[in-house]
């Protein structure tokens, strides 16, 4: 029995949901000022360094996934 398609497939919804949660975690502790700039709420520089490292790691993983290199030698 076929089920009618309603919106995005489940895996696409999961990807969107995970990306939204990731963005919320990355933006935690930040707010937008009157000029529309994203500013850190606290003065913790270690968080900033950690956040940049996480973003770089996620970007590298995303590039690897797009290229089809998942770290297991398969292509």
At 26-62, the pLDDT tens digits run 888 888 888 888 888 875 555 567 777 788 888 877 7
Determine if the pTM surpasses 0.75. Answer: no
Distance of CA 74 to the CA centre of its chain: 24
Higher per-residue confidence, 46 vs 25: 25
Instruction: List b or e across 52-67, with b for residues whose CB sees 16 or more CB atoms inside 10 angstroms.
Output: eeeeeeeeeeeeeeee
Reported confidence tier of residue 14, pLDDT bands at 50, 70, 90: confident
């Amino acid at each position: 029995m076929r089920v009618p398609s309603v919106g995005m497939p489940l895996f696409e919804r999961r990807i969107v949901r995970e990306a939204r949660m990731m963005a919320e975690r990355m933006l935690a502790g930040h707010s937008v000022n009157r000029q529309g700039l994203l500013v850190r709420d606290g003065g913790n520089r270690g968080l900033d360094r950690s956040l940049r490292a996480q973003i770089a790691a996620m970007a590298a993983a995303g590039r690897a996934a797009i290229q089809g290199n998942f770290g297991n030698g398969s292509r």
